[in-house]
Structures are given as C-alpha cells and as structure tokens.
Amino acid sequence: MLPQFDLKDSQLESRIFGSRTIIAVCLVMVLLGLILMRYYALQITAYEVYRTQSERNRVQLQPLPPKRGLIYDRNGVLLADNRPSYVLSVVRERVGDLDVALSELQTLLPVSERDLENFHKKVNRSRPYEPVPLRFRLTENERALLAVNRFRLPGVVVEARLLRHYPYGELFSHALGYVGRISEEEVQALDETDYRGTFYVGKVGVEKFYEDILHGDVGYQNVESNAHGRVLRVLERFLPVTGKDLTLSLDYRVQLAAFDALGDRRGAVVAINPLSGEVLALVSTPGFDTNLFVNGISYEDYNALRDSLDVPLFNRAIQGSYPPGSTIKPFMAMAGLQSGLVTPESTVADPGWYSLPGDSHRYRDWILRIRGTGHAPLVNMKMAISESCDVYFYDLARRLTIDRMAEYLHPFGFGERTGVDTTNERAGILPSTRWKRGAMNQPWYPGETISAGIGQGYMLASPLQLAVATGVMASKGQRRIPHLVMAIDGEPLPVTSLDPLVAPAEYWDAIFDGMREVVHGRNGTAKALAQGIAYEMAGKTGTAQVIGIAQNAVYNEADVSERHRHHGLFIAFAPIEAPTIAVGIIVENGGGSSAASPIAREVIDAWLSIEPG
C-alpha cells in the first residue's frame, strides 16, 4: 500500500466515521427523547390514573358482613342462631387455571355439582380479587387436608363464617322459615352494597319478612394486601352493625305440644292470644329440617321434599285453604243474631234434612245417618252449635242470603289476609255473588247458599284465619292483627288493632254457651275433651268433605282411601271467662273432627299450665 493512499483512505474513514457518529448521536438523542416522552406521559400526564391504580392494587376494601340477628321464643328459647363454620373460597385471579385448580380441589374434598354451579354463577359477578365461596361446612379433616396442601393451592382460602343454625329444625320450620344462599334473582332485588359479603338471605317466613331487621348493616375494612392476596395490615375499619334480635310470641312448649299432638299426620295448628294477636303456636306438619336449606339444599333432598305427596314445604297453617265445615257455625250464629233473623231462643224444626221450597233435593244433616232423624224436633241456637245442627244453619243461610252472609262473616277475617308478619299467607275465599261472578263468571245458585251455611262449597279458610276468627269471637269482637314477632331487640311491638266488631253482650253469651256445650255439654260434639279438664273451654268441631258424596250415598270411612277421607277441624278458646288462647286446627284426611279436637286440648293445656291463673 502506498502511504498517500493510506492517508487519503484514513481521512475518508475519519470523515465517514465522524458523520456516522453525528447521525448515531442524533438517533440516540431522538430515541432517548422518545423514551423520555413515554415516561413523561406515564408519570406526569397519566399520573392520577396510575396512582389510583396503584392504590387500588395496594388497598382493598373488604366487606365485613354483619352478624344476623338471633330469634328467640317468648321465653328466650333460642330458635335461630349463628354458628361458626368454615368456608372454602377461591380467588379467581390468583389460582391460575381455574379448571385445573377446581379439579385439584376435588381430589382433596368432595364438591357437589350444585356447589360448582353456584360457584360459577358467583365467580362471574364477583369483584376482582374477591374470594368466592365454593364449599361450605368444611369438616375438621377437610380443613387439615387443605392446610397441608396449601402451598400448591394458590388463591384458595379457608375462612370462618357464621352460619345460620336452627336448633329445632322441623319443629319451627313453618313458623320461622329459613335463610338460604342468595340466588341470582335475589341479587337484583337486594341492595348490593349492604349484601356485599353476606351469603344468606331470608327465603320464607319470619326470616324473610324481617330480613331488613335481622340482616344488620355491612361494615368495611381497608386492608393492604400483596399481589398474592395476603393481608398485610388493616388500614381502617368500619365495624358492621349486628342485625336486631327478634323475640317471637311463639311459645316453645305450646309449639311442641301442637307438633307432638299432630304426630305424623298432615295438618296444622295455629294458636293465638286473642287479646294481643300474639301467635303462640304455628305448626304445619309434616315440616322439614330448615338447616338443609341454609347452604343450598342438595337436589336429592330438595326433590324428595318437593315430590313428597305430603307436601312438607307447604305451610298448611297459612297457605292451606280448607272448607271450614261446621266450624263456621258460631260465626254464622253471630251473623244470624246481628241480622235479627234469629234470637238465642228462636228455634228451627229439624227433621234431619232440609230442602228449598219447591225443590226435592234434600240437604241432609250429618245426624241423619246416625239416628235416622234430626237432633230434636225444634233446635235452638245453643243446641245448633253444641250438636252442630246442619238444618238450623241451612235455614239461616237461606234466609240470610249469601251476600249478607259474606258481609257478616267478613269482620271475623274470612276471605282476606290476616296481615300476619310472615310470607306466603293466603286469603282463602269468602264467597258472594260478586265473588262468583268475578272468579268463575257464573251466577250464584240458591242451593250453594245452603251448603255455604255449614261451611262447605266455595268457602275456604286457612287454619290461621280460623284461629283469628275464633280470637275475635273469644275477645267478643276485638280484632287484632296476628303477629309472630313480639319484640325487636327487646323493644316490644305495639299491638295493632282493627275496628272492633260491636255486638250486644247477650249475642256473645249465647254463642259462648253453645260453644261451651260443644266441650262440656252432654251431647257436645267434642265432649270427650271435657274429661279431666281444669278449665272451661269453648270449641266447635268441623268436618270438611274432600270429595263430593252423591245424594243418598253413605260416607263410610273404612271404604274410602286415606287421602279421600274428610278433613277434621276444630276451633276452640279458653278459658271461657277470660280467654287467653284461641286455636284453629285441621287434620287432613283425619276422617272427622275427632281427629282434630284432642289436639286443642293438648295445646290449650300446655298454654294454660304455663300461664299463671
């Protein structure tokens, strides 16, 4: 190589390198400037956004669910409490592959289809990083197993929760109702903030009716947690407000007496205090173990309850609608007295049957089948009630007409809801020409009035309505709205009254006389109850036909299958001089009132033996 060549080359190289360096420096400056702009955009322009984001990462608002209020009976017996229970929850954001995590968990402990289904529903609407419950009521073993495997189960948390527990399960099932896991539809209706962190909501009964009071107010805590969801410290805390406790007017012993007396039969008993409207017992059998529902009942259990012929989920005491049968008679008697159509002394001829003028159809008296004749040639009100004379009331009904009958029976609470403080109450039917036109678009037939006079036909009432009507009778016209809850957090609820039913004292006395004779009279239809009784009870028996019986046919209990037997009914109050309890009882397919009346004795005995005096 020649030196000059070298030099020239070297100069050229230097020049090229110099210019390339300038370009490189420019490029470096531009690109670093670009990076700087990016950091400027993140740190200055969008500072607020990312600061908030970082704060949200760091600080989590955790709901602190309130403790649900307890439920006691009138004497302080605990009917619904909260017990600690361990819940397995999953934080969706931390488990990685959810399906893998779930199958992993299923190798450790059983997870039912229903649990999974509930879990998936909840996951979809949970907030980020919120633990979603998967399995409830972990056993000791399951908790140990989870603790041992914790290291390979990120995002799986075991939390202690308070779980509703009903110490008496079936006994108070229909009186209390129950709570259950919040369903999809309920989520829409409930206040989202207040129920954040709450698993359960009252589903039926008192638990549902008083949901707002029992639930309490949710609390919150701000916690600092790391990316793995571990809470490092609590920054601030607003404590939840515990739900209020309810004291029911129910008396455990009266409830138990009614429940035991019903035994394994289908039926219902409602006992109320006529002076206050307090419900002392509310039983519908068969019941069911309400604890099954708390965590979401299994399909098998639910199907068994739903498909049972005995319909245990059906609250006969307030949802059941039965023809009141002869238990309507004392109320009919009051209608007759008020209308002036009868007096306590006036009589009706009783050949054992009744027919409308110009009609050959014979409305038979129940006594005809037994004696072949009527109760007596002439029957007065007292005898008509005590011996349950049908003819007397056939005649009264015809003269009263159905619409006036409805008018006079209405104040006793028939045909409309009593307004009791629980769910699913039915109004029953108090028939009238208007009702029939509206409900069936048919005219009223005179013959229908006759059977309505003895509580058959269209008329339907629930055991609660019977008890309420009996209470109105017992208190001589005081009308109280029945209620199950007596006090909230020890604060007594005021008695709520409707306008009283005003009638002269002798009217009440006449009917009381008749009802006393039902139990205490020689020919009383429930005279068996008087045996060994320490107080005076007023009662009225009733029988409701389940299937129609053809003209002249004879109802033979042995011939008809169990489910076609008559319903047995009984209403009663005691003690007559100052009644403190009124009951309405039905025993489905009991055959007759004798199935129901002994229950009244048990229930009233239980109540009066508790009540001093």
CB nearer other proteins, residue 12 or residue 349: 12
Strand partners, 458: none
Question: Could you count the other beta carbons within 10 Å of the beta carbon of residue 364?
Answer: 17
CB 571 within 8 A of CB 515: no
| Shortest distance, position 94 Cβ to other proteins, whole Å | 9
3-state helix, strand, coil in the chain (%, to 5): 40, 20, 35
Nearer residue to other proteins within complex by CB, 64 or 98: 98
Q: How many residues does the chain have?
A: 613
Q: Based on CB atoms, which residue is closest to other proteins, 225 or 496?
A: 225
Residues in Cβ contact with 381 at an 8 Å cutoff, skipping those fewer than 6 apart: 333, 336, 337, 342, 343, 344, 345, 346, 392, 510, 511, 514
Are the beta carbons of 559 and 590 closer than 8 angstroms? Answer: no
Asked if omega into 598 is within 30° of 0 (cis), the reply is: no
Q: What's the Rg (C-alpha) of the chain?
A: 37
Q: How far is the CB of 122 from other proteins (least distance, A)?
A: 18
State the SS3 of 572-598. EEECCCCCCEEEEEEECCCCCHHHCHH
Contacts of 604 (CB under 8 A, 6+ apart): 271, 535, 537, 572, 574, 581, 583
Instruction: Report the C-alpha dihedral over residues 509, 402, 540, 248, rounded to 10 degrees.
Output: -90
Least Å from the CB of residue 134 to other proteins: 19
Is residue 326 part of the annotated active site? The answer reads yes
Residue 169 or 229 with smaller CB distance to other proteins? 229
Closer residue to other proteins (CB): 12 or 378: 12
- Alpha carbons 147 and 136: distance in angstroms, whole number: 16
Taking the least distance from each CB to other proteins, the nearer of 128 and 340 is 128
Q: Give whole-number Cα distances, 126 to 90, 192, 507, in Å.
A: 11, 11, 65
Of the pair 110, 128, the CB lying nearest other proteins is at 128
Task: Provide, rounded to whole angstroms, the least separation between the CB of residue 9 and other proteins.
Answer: 7
Q: Which is nearer to other proteins, 40 or 445 (CB)?
A: 40
CB 5: neighbour CB atoms within 10 A? 9
Q: Determine the 3-state secondary structure of 244 from DSSP.
A: coil
User: Least Å distance between CB 61 and other proteins?
Assistant: 16
Q: Whole-number minimum distance, CB 220 to other proteins, in Å?
A: 20
Q: Note the helical H segments in 217-290.
A: 252-262
Burial of residue 404 (CB within 10 Å: 0-12, 13-18, 19+) is middle
Q: How far is the CB of 41 from other proteins (least distance, A)?
A: 9
Which candidate, 533, 528, 526, 412, places its Cα nearest to that of 462? 412
**What tokens were used for 147?**
């603790």
Task: Report CA torsion sign: 309, 313, 315, 320.
Answer: negative
The catalytic residue among 89, 276, 326, 386 is 326
Q: Given the rule CB under 8 A, which residues bind other proteins?
A: 1, 6, 9-10, 12-14, 16-18, 20-21, 24-25, 28-29, 31-32, 34-36, 38-40, 42-44, 46-47, 49-51, 53-55, 57-58, 93, 224-228, 232
Distance between CA 405 and CA 384 in Å, rounded? 17
Q: Which is nearer to other proteins, 44 or 558 (CB)?
A: 44
425 sits in the region (left: phi over 0; alpha: psi -120 to 50; else beta) called beta
Active centre residues (catalytic): 326
